[in-house]
Amino acid sequence: MAEGSRGSSLAFGQVVIGPPGSGKTTYCHAMRDFLARLGRSVAVVNLDPANEALPWPCALDIGELITLPDAMAGLGLGPNGGLLYCMEYLEANADWLRDRLHGLRGHYVLFDCPGQVELYTHHEALKNVFAQLAKWNFRLAAVHLVDSHYCTDPGKFISVLCTSLSTMLHVELPHINVLSKMDLIEQYGKLAFNLDYYTEVLDLSYLVDHLASDPFFRNFRRLNEKLVEVIEDYSLVSFVPLNVQDKQSMRQVLQAVDKANGYSFGEQEQRSLEALMSAAVGADFHFSSTLAVQEKYVQSQDKAVEEEVMDL
């Protein structure tokens, strides 16, 4: 497989990125099972040198090339510096990656990536690895996972929006932002707005006004207004909600990714998808959809207003 060869067959896949604890490894496991049930040949590639206890066998593991503990011990680096070095080492040994990926042609590939934010906002090594994959005829979409609990804190949500925008501009891949762990969002506290406000990133001036009610953030209102202006001027950031236990939610994410990387599925997969979704409305469908979560918030808000009226 010569570098940059356009004669070789195309390969499709996802690079799964996001901060630590956002659910990247869990997502790869769930998406692999979901795609396998649709009939796709799926391979998971672990590009996280700190991920030593994988819950399943992967087709390719960066641990065969370098591990974070080895880099830290051998060079006297800390966790952050060691991870940056590992990615630079992977970039310098791109031939190793190309040779290993050659055996995965014909597979839909999920790349489980490290969780250090700097790798996706300004460090060049992993971005250059993605560029090499494109030269090897991989058609990839970046799936950027963000823990949905950030929606419960307006200040954190603005930070997440800035990070997501920076990541989109730096990575330079078709990009899908995903709010993960939607099945747990109610455990984090009440949302200030309906769920679609966060997923569609609607008028953020309301979020700034909401922040102004906090004495701490009141002093930073002008800064928050400028950050919001940057986000809205680019108009790039939106989110797809995800509950990996919910097949309908997985389907929505997959459809967004397939549109982003240009994957076109055939008639057989369409039949498999229809059969899978029809089963989801039966006994196999144990979790409420994202819409149901949103409706709970609307109902709870209406009930609170009704109680206030009754008190008057």
- DSSP string computed for 68-136: HHHHHHHHT--HHHHHHHHHHHHHHTHHHHHHHHHTTTTSEEEEE----THHHHT-SHHHHHHHHHHHT
Cα distances (angstroms) measured from residue 124 to each of 15, 104, 176: 16, 25, 20
Q: Is residue 222 part of a domain?
A: no
Q: Is residue 275 part of a domain?
A: no
Indicate if the alpha-carbon torsion angle 37, 38, 41, 43 is positive or negative: negative
For residue 190, the tally of other CB atoms under 10 A from its CB is 10
Over the stretch 22-69, which tens digit does the pLDDT of each residue have? 899 999 999 999 999 999 999 999 999 998 777 777 899 999 999 999
**The pLDDT of residue 4:** 45
For residues 248 and 55, which has the higher predicted lDDT (pLDDT)?
A: 248
Q: Is residue 300 part of a domain?
A: no
pTM of the entire structure?
Answer: 0.82
Q: Is residue 70 part of a domain?
A: yes
Q: Is residue 156 part of a domain?
A: yes
In whole angstroms, what is the distance from residue 209 CA to residue 204 CA?
Answer: 9
The DSSP output letter for 148 is: G
pLDDT above 60: residue 3: no
Indicate if the alpha-carbon torsion angle 40, 280, 17, 55 is positive or negative: negative
For residue 131, the tally of other CB atoms under 10 A from its CB is 14
In whole angstroms, what is the distance from residue 159 CA to residue 73 CA?
Answer: 33
- CATH code (residue 38): 3.40.50.300
Q: Is residue 24 part of a domain?
A: yes
Range of the domain at 252: 11-201+237-266
Q: Pick from 99, 69, 96: which is nearest to 85 by CA? A: 69
In whole angstroms, what is the distance from residue 201 CA to residue 236 CA?
Answer: 9
Lowest mean pLDDT among 180-189, 235-244, 245-254: 180-189
Over the stretch 115-150, which tens digit does the pLDDT of each residue have? 999 999 999 999 999 999 999 999 999 999 999 888
In whole angstroms, what is the distance from residue 166 CA to residue 271 CA?
Answer: 38
Q: What is the mean pLDDT of residues 77-89?
A: 95
Q: Pick from 272, 260, 280: which is nearest to 174 by CA? A: 260
In whole angstroms, what is the distance from residue 87 CA to residue 22 CA?
Answer: 20
Q: Is residue 253 part of a domain?
A: yes
| Beta carbons within 8 Å of 27's beta carbon, 6+ residues apart | 16, 143, 145, 178, 180, 242, 244
3-state secondary structure of 219: coil
Q: Show the tokens assigned to 207.
A: 């979020």
Q: Is residue 241 part of a domain?
A: yes
As for how many domains the chain has, the answer is 1
Burial class, 121, CB count within 10 angstroms (exposed 0-12 / middle 13-18 / buried 19+): middle
Give the percent of the chain with pLDDT over 70.
Answer: 84
In whole angstroms, what is the distance from residue 27 CA to residue 143 CA?
Answer: 10
**The pLDDT of residue 5:** 45
Exposure letters 5-29 (e unless 16+ CB within 10 A, then b): eeeeeebbbbbbbbbeebbbbebbb
**The pLDDT of residue 51:** 84
Contact indicator for 164, 195 with CB cutoff of 8 Å: no
Q: Which helix (H) or strand (E) holds 246?
A: none
